Structure formats: C-alpha cells, structure tokens
C-alpha cells in the first residue's frame, strides 16, 4: 500500500503530471467504492458506523472534486483565457503553470512561439519602414534643397557685401543662415527618427505638431499625386503614444490615400464620448470602452475622396501581404502594420469605404490620463 501511494502522490521536486493526478483520483475512487460496499453490507447494524462511513464518503468525494478543480480544470481555464487574449492580438507571455508538468511544458513552448512571432513582427515592420524611407527620400531631398539654396544665397551676399554692408544687414544674413541650417537639421532629424529602430516607448505627444513635423517627408508624395492635405486638429490635443510608431501609422495612411487618387486628404481629431463608427466598417483592434459607448476617446479620422475600396477586398484589408497593386508598387503590409500599431496602443481602427466615395479611416485611442495611470 505504501508503494502504491508513493507511485500516485506528486513528487516534491517536479510538478505532478496529468497521469499521476488521474491515478490519484482513481485510487480515491476505489477507496470510495470499497466504503460504499461496506456501507451496503447488512452486517453493520450500528447507525453510528453507517454515519461515519457516509461522512467519510462525502469527504473523499469533496477531495476528488477539489483535486480535479485545482490540478486540471482551473489551470486549463486560465490557459484558455490567455490563449483567447492572444487570438485578439495581445501577444503577452503566458503565466507559467506549475500545477502540471504537461501544462508547464505547453506554456513554455507557447511563450517561445510568442517571442519568435514578436521578433519577426518587428523585423517585418522595420523592413516596411525602410521601404517607406526609400519612397520618402526624394521628398526629403527636395525639402533640403530649399534651405540649402537659401544658405547659399545668404553666404554669397555676405561674401560680396562683407566690407560695404551695414552691420544690421550682416546680422540679418547670418540669422538667415542659422535659421535655414536649423530647418535642414530638423528635416534630417525627422527622417532619422522615423527610420531608427527602438523599443516601444509611450510619451505624451501633441498630435498637430507631430503631423507638421512630418510635412517635409510627405510633401513630395502629395505634390506628385496632386493631393491637398488639410488638418483640422485642436492645437492642444495630446495623446499618449510611441512617436516613431505613430509617425509610421500616419505616413502609411497618407501614402495609401495619395496612391488611391485622392485630390483632398483631411486629418481631423477630437475628444469623443460616443464615437459614431460607420456601419459595415472593417474593424481591427479592441478598445473595451468603445463597445460600451463609455468614452472618452481620442478620435482621429483620415478622410480622402479617392476611388474607394471594392467590397470584395474589404474583408482582407488587414491581411498581411494583401494588395491589389503590382508587385513592384506595393508589399501589402501598409494596413497590416497600421492595425498592429493601433493594437499596440490599445486602440481600435475602422475603415469605411463605399466604392467611388472615398475612404474614411477612424482611429480610436484612450486619452493620455487613462494610459498614464496604467
């Protein structure tokens, strides 16, 4: 009997296995059956004996139930909840399950897969970002040409008029050179900031200033397609986000709109208590309070008057590598990256695009005070 108990009891050094726990319950169940048989024997005349056997039977049944709940049902329910969160796009490592060896092994394997997926996702996003830099390079070169030309003109005037010009005029030219140098430095800094690779880091950002800083990177693209960019953003509206990722999100949406033949592109933002998401919109991400209309939110709407998106393509908008463009013109990662960035910020995205009536992209984010308290 002692050897049998040792074979079914958990080892103090290793987590118990499912097989051991079932064997343990099986042994207790056999004990219960024996007790029930004894209880049914008519040779037990005394009521006290029957009561004791009944109580012992109940204790064993409770013990079996608690063992099954603690070692099997509860760990599997917790694992199910965590895997459900993964299916919604929240790739957070699973909590280590030490109750059972099989669960601990499964959890460790899933965590390795999550780590590998995160590494590959970051690599894909960085690759797409570098591809965007190649597209933006022409616009940056054009934007740099203006301050360089102004510096060259001011320098030439200084050389020609150095001995004859008034001191005030010389100071004006020198100030112009300094201002244009700062302008060129800011353009280069914006490009370097956009292209650098670093970990996710939230900070409080002024949305309007962020977009204005992006203008040197997108001006050439908008000029080439004849797209007018209109901003309708309160000057003091702020949100808590990663600067680099939010820049990439906006550039991807602006490029998509300009490539769709849009002549007018508007970006508006406001605080909203009850966001009016368009009917039949294609959505991604999950902002719990959005479904409850409990707000408030920061609502950003990117609206264009381009050709719109075909209804048959809309269910695939957020699929990686899905594109209707020729292979040399698009990778199909733009909107996939946008929705991944939205999910990173605990937000929601909805795309509404009736064919021939343009496209409206609605982005919902929690306000800064909610994020700062997390």
Query: Which string of DSSP letters, residue by residue, matches 304-368?
Result: E-S----TTTGGGTTSTT--SS-TTT--S-HHHHHHHHHHHTT-EEEEE--TTS-EEEEEEE--H
pLDDT at 19: 53
| In-domain check, residue 345 | yes
**HSE-up of 59 (CA within 13 Å, CB side)?**
8
Q: Between the CA of residue 77 and those of 24, 71, 73, 103, 343, what are the distances in Å?
A: 21, 11, 6, 12, 25
Q: How far apart are CA 230 and CA 284, in angstroms?
A: 26
Task: Tell me the sheet residues that pair with 264.
Answer: 228
Q: 264 — phi, psi (to 5°)?
A: -140, 125
Q: Are 16 and 103 in contact (CB under 8 A)?
A: no
CATH number, position 318: 3.30.565.10
Q: What is the 3-state secondary structure (H, E, C) of 226-238?
A: CCEEEEECCCCCE
Do 366 and 226 have their domain in common? yes
Q: How far apart are CA 104 and CA 20, in angstroms?
A: 15
147, 221, 225, 253: CA torsion to nearest 10:
-140
Tokens 């009561």 appear where?
A: 51
| In-domain check, residue 368 | yes
| In-domain check, residue 243 | yes
Last residue of a domain, one of 32, 52, 85: 85
CA-atom Rg of the chain in angstroms: 32
Q: Between the CA of residue 100 and those of 4, 152, 253, what are the distances in Å?
A: 20, 73, 47
Q: Between the CA of residue 348 and those of 90, 289, 338, what are the distances in Å?
A: 13, 11, 10
Do 204 and 61 have their domain in common? no
Does the pTM of the predicted model rise above 0.85?
A: no
Task: State the residue range of the domain holding 258.
Answer: 198-372
| In-domain check, residue 30 | yes
- Phi and psi based region of residue 226 (left: phi greater than 0; alpha: psi -120 to 50; beta: remaining): left
Last residue of a domain, one of 70, 85, 100: 85
Last residue of a domain, one of 66, 85, 104: 85
Q: What is the distance of C-alpha 108 from the center of its chain?
A: 23
Do 224 and 364 have their domain in common? yes
| In-domain check, residue 240 | yes
Tell me the three state secondary structure of residue 117.
helix
Per the structure block, which two tokens stand in for 224?
Answer: 């080439």
Q: Which of 235, 250, 202 is nearest to 370 (CA)?
A: 202
pLDDT at 99: 58
Tell me the three state secondary structure of residue 260.
coil
Degrees (nearest 5) of the Cα angle 169, 175, 178?
150
Do 70 and 213 have their domain in common? no
Domain count, the chain: 2
Tell me the three state secondary structure of residue 302.
strand
Q: What is the distance of C-alpha 14 from the center of its chain?
A: 37
Q: Are 245 and 341 in contact (CB under 8 A)?
A: yes
Give average pLDDT by consecutive 10-residue segment, the chain, 374 residues. 39 50 61 60 57 66 68 70 67 66 76 76 65 60 70 78 79 81 74 68 90 81 84 91 87 83 87 68 56 70 85 76 65 76 85 82 80 43
| In-domain check, residue 167 | no
Q: Beta-strand (E) ranges in the chain? A: 203-206, 228-232, 238-241, 264-272, 282-285, 297-304, 348-352, 359-365
| In-domain check, residue 192 | no
Q: How far apart are CA 108 and CA 114, in angstroms?
A: 10
Helix (H) or strand (E) holding 40: helix 18-40
| In-domain check, residue 64 | yes
- 9-16: which pairs have CB atoms within 8 A and are 24 or more residues apart? 14/101, 15/98, 15/99, 15/100, 15/101, 15/104, 16/71, 16/99, 16/100, 16/101
């Amino acid at each position: 009997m002692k050897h049998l108990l040792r074979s079914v009891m958990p080892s103090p050094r290793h987590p118990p296995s499912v097989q051991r726990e079932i064997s343990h319950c099986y042994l207790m169940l056999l004990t219960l059956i024996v007790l029930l048989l004894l209880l049914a024997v008519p040779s037990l005349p005394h009521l006290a004996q029957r009561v004791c056997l009944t109580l012992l039977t109940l204790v064993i049944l409770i013990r079996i139930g608690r063992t099954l709940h603690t070692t099997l049902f509860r760990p599997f329910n917790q694992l199910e909840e965590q895997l459900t969160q993964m299916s919604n796009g929240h790739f957070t490592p699973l909590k280590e399950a030490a109750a059972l060896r099989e669960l601990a092994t499964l959890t460790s394997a899933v965590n390795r897969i999550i780590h590998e997926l995160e590494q590959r996702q970051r690599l894909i996003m960085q690759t797409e970002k570098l591809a965007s830099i190649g597209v933006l390079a022409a616009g940056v070169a054009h934007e740099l040409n203006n301050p360089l030309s102004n510096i060259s003109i001011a320098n030439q005037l200084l050389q020609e008029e150095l001995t004859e010009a008034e001191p005030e005029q010389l100071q004006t030219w020198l100030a112009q050179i300094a201002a244009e140098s700062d302008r060129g430095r800011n353009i280069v800094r914006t490009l370097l900031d956009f292209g650098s690779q670093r970990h996710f880091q939230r900070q409080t950002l002024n949305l309007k200033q962020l977009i204005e800083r992006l203008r040197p990177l997108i001006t050439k693209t908008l000029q080439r397609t004849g797209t007018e960019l209109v901003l309708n953003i309160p000057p003091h509206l702020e949100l808590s986000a990663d600067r680099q990722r939010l820049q990439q999100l906006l550039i991807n949406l602006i490029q998509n709109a300009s490539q769709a033949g849009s002549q007018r592109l508007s970006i508006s933002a406001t605080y909203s208590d009850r966001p009016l998401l368009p009917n039949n919109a294609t959505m991604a991400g999950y902002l719990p309070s959005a479904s409850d209309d409990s707000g408030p939110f920061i609502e950003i709407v990117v609206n264009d008057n381009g050709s719109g998106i075909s209804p048959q393509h809309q269910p695939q908008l957020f699929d990686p590598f899905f594109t209707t463009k020729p292979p040399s013109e698009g990778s199909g990662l733009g909107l996939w990256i946008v929705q991944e960035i939205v999910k990173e910020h605990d937000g929601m995205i909805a795309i509404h695009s009736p064919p021939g009536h343009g496209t409206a992209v609605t982005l919902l984010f929690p306000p800064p005070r909610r994020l700062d308290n997390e």
